[in-house]
Structure 1
Amino acid sequence: MKNSLLSVLLCGLMLFSLSAYAQSDAPAPVEYSERVPAEGAGSSALYRRALDWTENRFAYGPKSGQKADATAGTLRLTGTSKVKPVDKKAREQAITILFDFTFRASDNGYEYSVGSFQAIPDPEQPSQTMPLDAYIAKLRAEKTNDQTHNDRRVTAQATSIASEAAMSFRSYMNSQPAEGNVGLAGEN
């Protein structure tokens, strides 16, 4: 009885570890997207607010490729940030990454996303980019990845960038300017 119980537990543990290992081999693409209902706000007001954020508060520069279409209520721009894989001696090496921020307003709300991450692996050739998932696969294939865990490190850093950009945008969109008087009304 003990042997059969032990063998069942051992088989279960092996199956669990195989499924966990299989999940780590194919990471999901790094992105953040959300659909936000905003009844009564109007698509033009939402668009103007999003445009103000991209022009004045977008913190991931230098930004490029900004395309704004007021009639369609859409925005798109490319932001820049850094991820820092390490070498065998745990020294950080900054790699530039690019990502797209897209926005679309409608009368019922808005949608936005932070995604389409690209890595610039060679700083000497900034025009040559590769998809972030291909760059992460390249890191995973390196011999030193068992020591550095650069594939997981870069994935976590890029995910953090996507979350931070999305949280900054959503926070700004949720903070509507106050209308009317604040405090006591003045006497005439």
Structure 2
Amino acid sequence: MKNLLLGFLLCGLMLFSLSTRAQSDAPAPVEYSERVPADGAGRSALYRRALDWTENHFAYGPKSGQKADAAAGTVRLTGTGKVKPVDNKGREQVLTVLFDFTFRANDNGYEYSVGSFQIIPDPGQPSQTKPIDVYLTELRADKNNERTHNERRVTAQANSLASEAAMAFRSYMNSLPTDANVGLAGEN
């Protein structure tokens, strides 16, 4: 009898814990940020490397609003990407999103982030933007969201864009040239 009661109690606790893990109604922020330690690389070298990436290797154009401050070791610019919600008939609609890339070098390494996503809901009016969290809330409230899953679709696409831009930057920064010899020194 004790084992049966203990079994029911255990099942009840498991069901309770599953209900507390359910998704919340608030959308998670769409962003990617990282703090990277960089021993041996100077602040100015990290800044120059990040500036080179934003000027020559940033693939999310058209880019705008680039601001670089060598004294502070910061770089900031706005990039462009696409998300594709579907209409009621299942056809993709291409919408433009804008996002900010920010970089800050310090004596111990650097920090960067991809975030502040803004969506252009009407391609005919590119100057009118909307924060992506507001847009996602509107999609969630749409009566067709159960069928189109646009809220989840746009969130996943924007997160993928943020991750892709961040990984491209991190890969570029990891390929820093070094002055040191690697391996064993050759004999003369």
Normalization by structure 2: what TM-score?
Answer: 0.87
Give the alignment's Cα RMSD to 1 decimal.
Answer: 2.3
Q: How far apart, in 2, do the equivalents of 1:167 and 1:45 lie?
A: 20
Q: How far apart, in 1, do the equivalents of 2:59 and 2:133 lie?
A: 24
Q: How far apart, in 1, do the equivalents of 2:8 and 2:26 lie?
A: 31
| Residue number in structure 1 paired with 2:11 | 9
What residue ranges of structure 1 are gaps of 5+ in the alignment? 182-188
Question: Which secondary structure does the structure 1 equivalent of 2:100 belong to?
Answer: strand
| Residue number in structure 1 paired with 2:184 | none
| Residue number in structure 2 paired with 1:134 | 134
Q: How far apart, in 1, do the equivalents of 2:62 and 2:113 lie?
A: 19
Kindly tell me: are residues 17 and 122 of structure 1, through their superposed partners in 2, closer, same or farther at Cα, counting changes over 3 Å?
farther
| Residue number in structure 2 paired with 1:46 | 46
Kindly tell me: are residues 3 and 43 of structure 1, through their superposed partners in 2, closer, same or farther at Cα, counting changes over 3 Å?
closer
Q: How far apart, in 1, do the equivalents of 2:80 and 2:69 lie?
A: 22
Kindly tell me: are residues 7 and 142 of structure 1, through their superposed partners in 2, closer, same or farther at Cα, counting changes over 3 Å?
farther
Question: Identity over the aligned pairs, expressed in percent?
Answer: 72
Q: Deviations over 1:40-90 (max 9, x none)?
A: 211110000000000111110000000001111100000000000111221
User: 2:43 is matched by which residue type in structure 1?
Assistant: S
User: 1:9 is matched by which residue type in structure 2?
Assistant: C
Normalization by structure 1: what TM-score?
Answer: 0.87
Shift of 1:18: 3.6
Any residues of structure 2 matched to 1:9-88 within 5 Å, and which? 9=11, 12-13=14-15, 15-16=16-17, 18-21=19-22, 23-88=23-88
| Residue number in structure 1 paired with 2:185 | none
| Residue number in structure 1 paired with 2:103 | 103
- 8 Å contact kept, 1:40–1:107: no
Q: How far apart, in 2, do the equivalents of 1:16 and 1:86 lie?
A: 35
Q: Deviations over 1:19-43 (max 9, x none)?
A: 344x241221011111111122111
What residue ranges of structure 2 are gaps of 5+ in the alignment? 182-188
Q: Deviations over 1:127-185 (max 9, x none)?
A: 1111101000000000100001111110000000010000000000000236599xxxx
User: 1:57 is matched by which residue type in structure 2?
Assistant: H
